[in-house]
Amino acid sequence: MTLDLLLTITAYLLGSLSAAIIVCRILGLPDPRTQGSGNPGATNVLRYAGKQAAAVVLAGDALKGLLPVLIARLLGAEDHVVAAVGLAAFLGHLYPIFFAFKGGKGVATAFGVLWGLAWPVALAAVLTWLLVAKVFKFSSLAALIAALLAPVYMWWLVPIPSHVVMIGAMSLLLLWRHRSNVQRLIMGAEDKIDD
């Protein structure tokens, strides 16, 4: 029980480290919370700092979802504990203790969690994102559709009940975090990827 709690708390703390803020500070770039959309995530960093900085942010955010899940699995944690660890890392990104509980939208961290739980599900989600982004040119729309389908992919490919429920919860949180994007999509005011 103590190890399970330690794994979950550590996952939240790791999730609370903002790759976007840290990378931008190291590179001497403006704080992503003061630029573009104000979101500390890879897409916003891409828009004002370029592909290389965005790639590092994307990798960092994915790793903080992946590593806690892998560690929990390596230590033999039960499925429900692994699910709790993944959700904790994701919540850390959304509501980071180190940044006044104001974090990013969670797409890359959710991907990292998915990869740690079941790489075929993560692959299906990323292929969905790539297809929708290629066709419609909206990162937010791609993220929303991938998020909606992720629990379905999990249920279909790796039907572990606690994982399906946790991915469902993450998907609902992703939808909530993208509510302003949904409004802009409806109004035709959302920025395209290559704008």
Residue ranges of domains in the chain:
2-187
Of 62, 60, 84, the closest CA to residue 72 belongs to 84
Phi-psi region of 138 (alpha: psi -120 to 50; beta: other; left: phi over 0): beta
> CA–CA separation, 125 vs 145, rounded Å?
9
Element (H, E) at 105: none
Over residues 48-99, the pLDDT tens digits come to 888 999 999 999 999 999 999 999 999 999 999 999 999 999 999 999 999 9
> CA–CA separation, 66 vs 130, rounded Å?
20
The pLDDT tens digits along the chain (195 residues) read: 799 999 999 999 999 999 999 999 999 989 999 998 888 998 889 888 889 999 999 999 999 999 999 999 999 999 999 999 999 999 999 999 999 999 999 999 999 999 999 999 999 999 999 999 999 999 889 999 999 999 999 999 999 999 999 999 999 999 999 999 899 989 988 888 765
> CA–CA separation, 191 vs 118, rounded Å?
32
